[in-house]
Amino acid sequence: MADATGMPPPGNGGHTNGQGTDNPGTNGAGNAGRPAASPILTITGLRTQFGTSVIHDNLDFSVQPGEVMGVVGGSGTGKSVLIRTIIGLNKPAAGRIAVFGRDLASLSAAETTAMQSRWGVLFQDGALFSSLTVAQNIEVPMKEHSDLPPELRQELIDVKISMVGLPPDAAHKYPAELSGGMRKRAGLARALALDADILFLDEPTAGLDPIGAANFDILIGDLQRALGLTVVMVTHDLDSLYAICDRVSVLVNKRVKVGTIEELMHEPDPWIQEYFGGPRGRAAAGSAERSGTAPQSAG
């Protein structure tokens, strides 16, 4: 199940997707290795807290169109909260979050609903509705955000199921009847239900065996290129970072440090040093080098 059934072959990994940016931006179109268009997502001065517990403080973060941004950090540093805050499930105590140049706090209810249809989310626990079949799960956002007639929804559901490499008969199965890897694929199909521009993935490969995880990385990479997606992916999986991420954000001290893996390796922060330079980091770097997915030196 290594392939994304029905998908075109992987492209050249170029970042060509500038669609949907509402502000024209001032950057050139150069995309040699590092994207340079206006950010598709910009966070400035974000503060999130629960009671007196501050999770993010004055955090700045931006993601370019077509970029695959990894998000790492120790357990409890606020990776999932960051995603939940971006998509509006958690209200920031301060700061601004803009998507496609629009400040999310300034949107009307109708605009917010429209904005929600432009991103897809795969939550950390998969979060499929256990009482619904895979097809019905994928249909939920379609019903919520589109006026598509049932026949067309059905056709689209079949397309999404095939896109994520699930067999057609998975459509009528309940989550409990699927393997962990299949559930992840089903969750991904639901995240893709609305042809989103941005995909938020929270630990998509957690709990999969190494081969299943590698196949899922390949799937995400293939889909990203074929659909021109921007991907923000929380992961603990160093192999995933090497395989598909253009840049990585590390949550440390309530903020993020952003860079290529190469750049982050020069960060003095002890957690970052240990993470990328420790035994697991070195092993992942070695296997990435052997498979040709190691980061290119800047230049």
Ligand X SMILES: Nc1ncnc2c1ncn2[C@@H]1O[C@H](COP(=O)(O)OP(=O)(O)OP(=O)(O)O)[C@@H](O)[C@H]1O
Q: Which residues would be at the binding site for ligand X (CB under 6 A)? A: 50, 55, 73, 75-81, 124
55 by DSSP, 3-state: which? strand
Give the residue with the Cβ less far from ligand X, 73 or 141. Answer: 73
73 binds, among ligand X, Mg ion, none (CB under 5 to 8 A by kind): ligand X
**Please, which residue, 30 or 76, has the CB nearer to Mg ion?**
76
Helix (H) or strand (E) holding 95: strand 94-99
Closest to 208 (Cα-Cα) out of 233, 229, 230, 239: 239
If contact means CB under 5 to 8 A according to the sort of partner, which of ligand X, Mg ion, none does residue 120 touch? none
CB 178 within 8 A of CB 126: no
Q: CB 95 → ligand X: shortest distance, Å?
A: 16
Q: Which strand (E) or helix (H) includes residue 217?
A: helix 210-227
CA torsion angle for 89, 36, 100, 262 (degrees, to 10)?
-10
Nearer Cβ to ligand X (51/292): 51
Residue 77 near Mg ion by CB under 5 A: no
If we measure between CA atoms, which residue out of 226, 66, 221, 233 comes closest to residue 159?
226
Q: How far is the CB of 78 from ligand X (least distance, A)?
A: 4
Q: Toward ligand X, which CB reaches closer, 153 or 254?
A: 254
85 binds Mg ion (CB under 5 A): no
Instruction: CB nearer to ligand X: give 218 or 238.
Output: 238
End-to-end Cα, the chain, rounded Å: 36
Residue 277, both tokens: 């330079």
CB of 89 to ligand X, least distance (A): 9
Per CB under 5 A, which of residues 122..141 are in contact with Mg ion?
Answer: 124
Q: Which of 238, 249, 251, 250 is nearest to 293 (CA)?
A: 238
- Residue 80 in the binding site for Mg ion (CB under 5 A): yes
**Interface with Mg ion (CB under 5 A):** 79-80, 124
